[in-house]
Amino acid sequence: MRLFVALDFPDAVKEALLNLRAEIPTARWSNRAQLHLTLFFIGETERVQDVKTALETVKAPPFTLALSGVGRFPKGDHQPPAVLWAGVENPPALRVLHEQVSGVLTDLGYEADRRPFNPHITLARLKASRPLSEADAFLKMHHDFRAGPVELVEFVLFSSELSPQGARYRREAVYPLTLG
């Protein structure tokens, strides 16, 4: 089973994200069910129960999160963009949650992303052949995007099934964020 751990958002936040869609002919925009903030990508595993049990040990408080701005990956000025994303304000509680989730999963032997944690919500994937001007126009038009704040009280273990129409996600387990 292909798994990842993420924060899910209420419909009002997802609606604000969906409203960012722009006319970029070759963009594959994320649908409502695909809008999330990945904390840890596990990948293919048969150790689903071990993952679920490990995530039960994560103790992090609920927190407020606001979405802020848009960007692209890769970030280089001369590289064609592959992903358009919405950013988030990065409160300390989000970093604590990310560190705890990463810690319990790396203890199980899963490899953490080597890149620094850059919390974001993927809005669209672009074909590499698209001109920079399309992405730049999108970024300019939505540079002041804001949504939330929203109180986050849980994180989710999702499974992912890939298809030609895009990934389909299913909630496998939900974990409360608690103070104690």
pLDDT tens digits, residue range 122-146?
A: 999 887 665 667 788 899 999 999 9
Say if residues 3 and 45 touch (Cβ distance below 8 Å): yes
Q: Provide the residue ranges of all domains of the chain, joining segments of one domain with +.
A: 2-176
- What pTM was computed for the model? 0.91
138 or 8, higher pLDDT: 8
Active site residue 78: no
As assigned by CATH, the class of the 2-176 domain is alpha beta
Strand partners, 85: 71, 122
Contacts with 67 (C-beta within 8 Å, 6 or more apart), sequence order: 13, 16, 17, 86, 87, 88, 89, 121, 145, 146, 147, 148
Active site residue 98: no
